[in-house]
Chain A
Amino acid sequence: MISRFNVRSAALTLVAPVLAIVLAVGITTVVLLVSGDEPLETFGYMVDYGFQPRTMVLTLNLATTYYFSALAVAIGFRMNLFNIGVDGQYRLAALIAAAVGGAVTLPAPLHVTLTVLVAVLVGACWAGLAGLLKATRGVSEVISTIMLNVIATGLGAWLLHTDRLAVAVSGSNNIGTKPIGPSGQVPGLHLIAGTEVKVYGFVVVAALAGIGFHFMLNSTRFGFDLRATGRSESAAVASGVNVKKMIVGTMVLSGAVAGLVGMPQLLGASYSYSLDFPTGLGFTGIAIALLGRNNPLGIAFGALLWSFLTNSASILDVHQISKEIVIIMQGVIVLSVVVAYELVRRYRKSAEQRRVGQELAATAEPVKG
């Protein structure tokens, strides 16, 4: 009976995101009709293009980056901490890690480890600042992380200067950190046939991080304390949780994962942090964490979907259809998924009551078990 329960409830869990996607497609259809484009054709272009081998690799690669970002946000969310600062954390982390990685030459595994370690540390420290401010001064982490984002941008701009960490990139007027040598690069994987483009080796790290996240939350005392604090701070305090320590610890952990956000790109493609390093990934992470309900598997799907939409939209330009249509779609998905989860929750409750009622109809005693 229990297992039947779980299959059912797992199926129901999927209903919400599917509902949200259907709604998003519907609204996008209306927008397309209004703007005079053919909806079926448009979606057809996107699907066609999106499932070409090369696009699939790009989708997987971008999703890897999104995944770290959403995971970092989700760690905070599970304790009701709103880490809006993932954006600043990963940019600063990637910049400094790139500089360190570019400055040294070490045997391959050590070189990569060092670069990643620096990124993780910088991310952790930057987020830890917000944690400390909240624990000692009661400053809302929302405010402090927004501020820290701004500071990270300024600090990054200052550091990324030819007088300091940057060198001119040959053949352009771009500047960036000194490129990381071959020993510090993470080789790509030939996962998808039919294209020369490789999948970031970091996809493996992302999968491990997801497993680690699940394990940390559900099987460790730290994870229990984290979830308990998220559910009821007063009960957690009474149970002996040191909430201040938990705030700092959780922010540090969230920032450490945020530090990984820039790594797939840095160690798998660009090997240098330059002016055109991707920005704004931290905010995408918030949306994907919501979409995936802070659950590592849910976030994986969310990241893939988001990345698929972003990548497959590239084709729309060719057909003179506005690419922004995808942004509308992504926005609607996030909004409607929140509503859909609530609808499913209510449905599930009443369905369960009906089912139990039927099962108990014959028995005269309240049933246990």
Chain B
Amino acid sequence: MWMTATPEPAVELKGIVKRFPGVVANRDVCLKVQRGHVHAVVGENGAGKSTLMKILYGMQRPDEGEIRINGAPVTFRSPSDAIAAGIGMVHQHFMLADNFTVLENVILGSEPRQAGTVIDFSAARKRIREISDAYGLGVNPDSLVESLGVGDRQRVEILKVLYRGAKILILDEPTAVLVPQEVEELFASLRGLVREGHTVLFISHKLDEVLSVADEITVIRRGTTVETVNPGQTTARRLAELMVGSELPVPELRESTVTDVVALAVEGLTVRTPEGRPIVDDVSFEIRKGEVLGIAGVEGNGQAELVEAIMGIRPAAGTIRLSDTDITGWTTRRRRVSGVGHIPEDRHRHGLLLEAPLWENRILGHQTEKPNAKGPWIDRSGARKDTARIVDEYDVRTPGIDVHASALSGGNQQKLIVGREMSGDPVVLIASHPTRGVDVGAQAAIWDHLRAARARGLAVLLISADLDELIGMSDTLKVICGGRIVRAVDPHNVTPEELGSAMTGAGGEA
């Protein structure tokens, strides 16, 4: 594979080794990326993909190995060295300041100066327009980031990187938060970039996408590169086998377990912004025991606020009933104690204490429940034992339960949260993107756990950007748009494409 005689790869990594306490994140990694290629990196959770990209971007220093950019060996001490060498990175979690405009966000840190003092806004605005037009990014420099959807935000991130002169772009799981239409738009932009001579490196767990957009695919397994393949000569199934040695999972619910008993009923739920604009607008639904209700929608259409209202984190008008009890006025804790589990969409902000050990993270959200607490006391040994169980049952790859959550790879953090929220037999589970960022193997395991719990009578509210997951795992499916439930869709008779257009309000009857 390495023998093909192409001149000077844009990026060449040789023998990269990176160790963390208890794990070797990268071991003897070799990777060649040709200039003008879209090069995908795939691998299971904790395989070392993010670590490798952070090394290339100067955020982490390799313990051993060599990096060559356009043939010349380099040593990066910080991201600014990497930026100077023409490398840019878009992280999975966007790093834009909400209440600034696109223009301000883009120039933050590299402000163009007029005569060395005043910020030259008009020059910056002009360049942003140029870049945006050149690659079809469709970014308006003067809109407020707050008002943008995820797809737009991502393009702003890309633009920001290009603005700094990057010729090599690294995108870490750029599609995890996007719905199919947005993914298509992103890929169109990437193709535009590549035509202009840029090089793109990207990480994804969605193998179909990888096959459709990449020129070359490198598989990482347990920290080391196992193979680089050509998408024309492989299949998603073969990739999955290379990654984890298992087959591609299919989200599907076998027989219906839906009962007549209503577990969660929401009526006329309305959440308003401080200005009084409704973000969740008169939403009503019921979820019965053993039922999975899927909510489809482009991100930013009120899903996050709906979840927060149900969890009691955000004030809302309307009524929420758990079984027969009106819980509208209850605190978050009381709701949780009564059996409402919550997998939050932003695991770093809402799901974890990053600088605390795993076993303390097991307690989070279940501070008052067995096996974490005995009366007003924390039951340390009970919590530790149960953490070990979760690590085992959910295959969380970690050197131990005393490491900090920040040391786990994104997907393994997710597995820990899912395991925690499924513990203690919840009555209702509010699951926002339960498999976001987890590899195909772990996805199958999480779906299995969900199915089993559903068979035992769990009611699930499922929110996901992964339409296959939504269609396959939902008994009932509703579409949310602009904060309102706009229609119901039959999950047994809908294709992802139809659902996708229903979500944007474009398509006809699904």
Q: Which of A's residues lie within 8 Å of B, judged by CB?
A: 2, 218-225, 227-228, 231-232, 234-235, 237-242, 349, 352-354, 356-357, 360, 365-369
Check B352 against A224 for contact (C-beta < 8 Å): no
Check B363 against A224 for contact (C-beta < 8 Å): yes
- Bound state CA distance, A231 and B335, in angstroms? 23
Check A221 against B376 for contact (C-beta < 8 Å): yes
30 A-B Cβ contacts within 8 A?
A219-B377, A220-B378, A221-B376, A221-B378, A224-B360, A224-B367, A228-B353, A228-B356, A231-B353, A231-B355, A232-B349, A232-B352, A235-B349, A237-B313, A237-B332, A238-B342, A238-B350, A240-B331, A240-B336, A242-B331, A353-B21, A356-B19, A356-B24, A357-B24, A366-B223, A366-B397, A367-B399, A368-B397, A368-B399, A369-B22
> What total of chain B residues lie within 8 Å of the partner, measured CB to CB?
45
B378's partner among A218, A234, A354 (CB-CB below 8 A) is A218
- From 314 to 354 in chain B, residues with beta carbon under 8 angstroms from any chain A beta carbon are 331-337, 342, 344, 349-354
**B316–chain A nearest beta-carbon distance, Å:** 15
Check B368 against A235 for contact (C-beta < 8 Å): no
- Bound state CA distance, A222 and B368, in angstroms? 10
- Bound state CA distance, A354 and B356, in angstroms? 23
Check A240 against B332 for contact (C-beta < 8 Å): yes
Q: Which residues in B have their C-beta under 8 angstroms from that of A222?
A: 376
Q: Which residues in B have their C-beta under 8 angstroms from that of A218?
A: 378
Check A235 against B352 for contact (C-beta < 8 Å): yes
A367's partner among B23, B354, B355, B380 (CB-CB below 8 A) is B23
Q: Which residues in B have their C-beta under 8 angstroms from that of A239?
A: 332, 336, 364-367
- Bound state CA distance, A139 and B129, in angstroms? 42
B373 within 8 A of A: yes
Residue of B nearest to A238 (CB): B350
B377's partner among A221, A231, A241 (CB-CB below 8 A) is A221
Check B376 against A228 for contact (C-beta < 8 Å): no
Check B63 against A357 for contact (C-beta < 8 Å): yes
Given contacts A228-B353, A238-B350, contact A219 B23 (CB under 8 A): no
Give the number of residue pairs across the A-B interface with Cβ within 8 Å.
Answer: 107
**B23–chain A nearest beta-carbon distance, Å:** 5
Residue of B nearest to A357 (CB): B19
Check B222 against A221 for contact (C-beta < 8 Å): no
Given contacts A238-B311, A240-B331, A369-B399, contact A220 B377 (CB under 8 A): yes
Instruction: A221-B378, A237-B313 given; name 14 further pairs at CB < 8 Å.
Output: A219-B380, A220-B377, A227-B356, A235-B350, A235-B364, A240-B335, A242-B331, A242-B332, A353-B63, A366-B222, A368-B22, A368-B398, A368-B399, A369-B399
Q: Which residues in B have their C-beta under 8 angstroms from that of A237?
A: 313, 332, 350
- Bound state CA distance, A227 and B377, in angstroms? 14
Q: Which residues in B have their C-beta under 8 angstroms from that of A368?
A: 22, 397-400
- Bound state CA distance, A63 and B350, in angstroms? 41
**B199–chain A nearest beta-carbon distance, Å:** 30
Given contacts A220-B377, A356-B19, A357-B19, contact A238 B63 (CB under 8 A): no
B20 within 8 A of A: yes
Check A238 against B367 for contact (C-beta < 8 Å): no
* 6 interchain residue pairs of minimum CB distance: A240-B333, A239-B365, A238-B350, A357-B19, A240-B332, A352-B21
- From 370 to 413 in chain B, residues with beta carbon under 8 angstroms from any chain A beta carbon are 373, 376-378, 380, 397-400, 402
Given contacts A356-B20, A357-B24, A367-B22, contact A228 B364 (CB under 8 A): yes
Residue of A nearest to B22 (CB): A356
Residue of A nearest to B351 (CB): A235
Given contacts A219-B380, A369-B400, contact A232 B19 (CB under 8 A): no
Q: What 0/1 pattern do residues 221 to 245 of B give for CB contact below 8 A with A?
A: 0110000000000000000000000
- Bound state CA distance, A219 and B382, in angstroms? 12
**A231–chain B nearest beta-carbon distance, Å:** 5
Residue of B nearest to A349 (CB): B21
Q: Which of B331, B342, B350, B368 has its CB near the most chain A CB atoms (within 10 A)?
A: B350
Q: Which residues in A have their C-beta under 8 angstroms from that of B354?
A: 231-232
- Bound state CA distance, A63 and B151, in angstroms? 59
Q: Which residues in B have their C-beta under 8 angstroms from that of A228?
A: 353, 356, 364
